[in-house]
Amino acid sequence: MNIGPVLSERLGSVGIETLEQLKQLGTLRAWERIAEKTPEEERVHTLLALEGAIRAVRWTAISRPERDRLLAAAGLR
């Protein structure tokens, strides 16, 4: 969920091949690995998609305060 072919390719390019690997790294560490490969206009959605994938929910199900915390931690807000 939340990981389409483009994001999957970006993750794979930095050695993240499985959901388990993504979970072990965590959202922010995985994000840091692919941030440079992600166009600026896609960065917010990509970060939230990673968190949604880890939680097995659509990113829109993540509460606004949690989204804001993630965005701030990633330096996107």
| Domain residue spans of the chain | 5-73
In sequence order, the 6+-apart residues with CB closer than 8 A to the CB of 29 are: none
In sequence order, the 6+-apart residues with CB closer than 8 A to the CB of 45 are: 59
pLDDT above 80: residue 56: yes
- What is the reported pLDDT for 77? 85
What CATH number labels 5-73? 1.10.150.20
Rg over alpha carbons for the chain, rounded to the nearest Å, is 11
Smallest Cα–Cα separation from 46: which of 63, 28, 64, 61? 28
Is this prediction's pTM over 0.75?
Answer: yes
What average pLDDT does this structure show over 56-71?
96
The answer to whether the CB of 28 falls within 8 A of the CB of 50 is no
- Confidence tier at 1 by pLDDT (50, 70, 90): confident
Average pLDDT, the chain: 95
